[in-house]
A and B are shown apart, each in its own frame.
Chain A
């Protein structure tokens, strides 16, 4: 009579010649165990996951850039304060006083720079994207 141990070994080796109800039952069990589980991942799984990783990395980079920008601005302000304190520097805007007589020119310069920025954002960068 076949013991369970022997039967399992035989089935493991691919020898399905045993007889009896135990062997029949093992046959069914081994056949079923070889079947792949029904659950499968969607076909787009890998693409979606890579996109997710890329967006996470981009978000991480942006927040790192923001951190360094913040730190840079903070250091700039601190440096300015320290420099002013150490050198007893008094800010003077006398150099800009001559602009008082050219208000129109100053306003045009500002408006022109804003316009160039707008064109750059709305037209040039969009065109480059395509």
Chain B
């Protein structure tokens, strides 16, 4: 596998095959991030395309201060957030802890969901209901195996905030799942 420096140099020199390779290496990361932030498939693909077009346009400005994947994820995150802003989708920076937790964990007809009897599917739905920043951090940490520092670089948040968001997101999900588990055990 070609290292970042060699790959970037080849892309800058106009090697399209190298850019194709760069896309192949990072398309999963971009798809994960955009896929979590944006709902419609048409928008997702268009946005992923725009992300890589931006990468191609700005690659000569990449200064190797971070990993190439972190830099690409930063572009994807910014473009995803801008897309949500354009669509007037609320980004909702962490709301008041208690009210948000109460709202998120509240029982909105758990019986209906229990019929589904698929905790994993329910948990996935719950992840989708989280505010965009939470979803991004969860995905980068658990799916793309980024560390707190890298996630901080991508999102522009201090490491402490990243840790806090991660803890709270998992805690919220756990509280909600616990309710379903409780119901399951009662049945």
A86 to B69, CA, bound (A): 64
- The tally of residues in B whose CB lies under 8 Å from a CB in A reads 40
A7 to B52, CA, bound (A): 39
Asked whether A26 and B31 contact (CB < 8 A) given A42-B45, A49-B53, the answer is no
B48 touches A41 (CB 8 A): yes
Residue A5 at the chain B interface, CB threshold 8 Å? yes
8 Å CB contact of A37 from B16, B36, B177, B182: B36
A99 to B117, CA, bound (A): 97
Residue B165 at the chain A interface, CB threshold 8 Å? no
A22 to B167, CA, bound (A): 14
A5 touches B170 (CB 8 A): no
Residue A126 at the chain B interface, CB threshold 8 Å? no
B142 touches A33 (CB 8 A): yes
Asked whether A39 and B27 contact (CB < 8 A) given A28-B120, A29-B177, A50-B19, the answer is no
Chain A minimum-CB-distance residue to B173: A29
A46 touches B23 (CB 8 A): yes
B132 to chain A, nearest CB (A): 13
A22 to B173, CA, bound (A): 11
Residue B127 at the chain A interface, CB threshold 8 Å? yes
Residue B129 at the chain A interface, CB threshold 8 Å? no
Residues of B within 8 A of A39 (CB): 31-32, 34-35, 41, 44
Chain A proximity mask over B35-51: 1 for CB below 8 Å, otherwise 0: 11000010011001100
Chain B facing A: main interface SS = helix
B146 to chain A, nearest CB (A): 13
A46 to chain B, nearest CB (A): 4
Residue B178 at the chain A interface, CB threshold 8 Å? yes
8 Å CB contact of A46 from B27, B32, B177: B27
A84 to B103, CA, bound (A): 84
B170 touches A8 (CB 8 A): yes
A21 to B123, CA, bound (A): 16
Residues of B within 8 A of A31 (CB): 120
Chain A minimum-CB-distance residue to B25: A46
Chain A minimum-CB-distance residue to B120: A32
Residue A128 at the chain B interface, CB threshold 8 Å? no
Residue A34 at the chain B interface, CB threshold 8 Å? yes
Chain B minimum-CB-distance residue to A23: B174
Chain B residues within CB distance 8 Å of chain A: 16, 19-20, 23-24, 27-28, 30-32, 34-36, 41, 44-45, 48-49, 52-53, 56, 119-120, 123-124, 127, 138-139, 142-143, 167, 170-171, 173-175, 177-178, 181-182
Further 9 A-B residue pairs, CB within 8 A, beyond A25-B178, A39-B31: A36-B143, A37-B143, A38-B35, A42-B45, A45-B23, A45-B49, A50-B20, A52-B53, A53-B16
